[in-house]
Copies of this chain bind each other. A is one copy, B any other.
Amino acid sequence: MVLDHAFTLVSRVGFEGLTIGTLAERVGLSKSGLFGHFHSKEQLQLEVLETAVDRFMQGVIRPGLKAPRGEPRVRALFKNWLDWGRGHVAQTEGCVFIAAANELDDRQGPLRDRLVDYQREWLAGLAHAAQLAVEEGHFRFDLDTQQFAYEFYSIILAFHHASRLLRDSRSDERAERQFERLITNSRPTPRSALAPPRATTAPTS
């Protein structure tokens, strides 16, 4: 599949490094043939982003959703995401979304807009997973689930930085410890456990 090759290429050279010319060379097709299919570099980039999101859905989110609601699901999402950041899920060089975030943060256009939409959706999904953990009584009823999602993301960003740039052999252990602290801080404290969670929030599915 052409898009599989394009995805692999983006994971190595970034979205800016992906051109119809370099892709044509890689897959052994004519540039004009590929251009006829994708019409523009921008369209090709957008389709590669969709491919990346599909891989993330299949390799990180879907298997995570099979874990029981609450803390077990939050843990499964973390484990799968860390594997994704290692490049183990989609045979990439690190996380294409983090690379794209830095590549596109001061650009304009549809590629950046779609990336931002997807990242916001994923943060909302993490906040929702935390909210389910509140409803299950695993996390405290007054947890700020958006802050939880934000800090969850920070763990992945730091792991990526430490493992990819610094090649820190302890990055796995560091990320896991930071995650355990986030979980511990999210659990009911003796004081907050006094207030029943179901009285303050309506259950969501």
Q: Which residues of A contact B (CB under 8 A)?
A: 12, 93-94, 98-99, 101-106, 115-116, 119-120, 123, 144, 147, 150-151, 153-155, 157-158, 161-162, 164-167, 174, 177-178, 181, 185
Contact = CB atoms under 8 A, between A and B. Distances in A.
Chain A: interface secondary structure? Answer: helix
A167 to B, nearest CB: 8
Tell me how many chains of this kind the complex includes: 2
Contacts of A155: 154
A104 B165 contact: yes
B164 A106 contact: yes
B158 A178 contact: no
Given A144-B177, A157-B161, 12 more contacts: A102-B102, A102-B103, A104-B165, A105-B164, A115-B165, A116-B167, A120-B166, A147-B177, A150-B174, A151-B181, A154-B154, A157-B157
Contact of A101 (B104, B150, B165): B165
Contacts of A177: 144, 147
A113 to B, nearest CB: 11
B166 A178 contact: no
A150 B154 contact: no
A162 B116 CA distance: 10
A39 to B, nearest CB: 27
A98 B151 CA distance: 18
A166 B97 CA distance: 13
Q: Which of A144, A161, A165 has the most CB of B within 10 A?
A: A165
Given A105-B165, A119-B166, A185 B181 contact: yes
B151 A178 contact: yes
B161 A158 contact: no
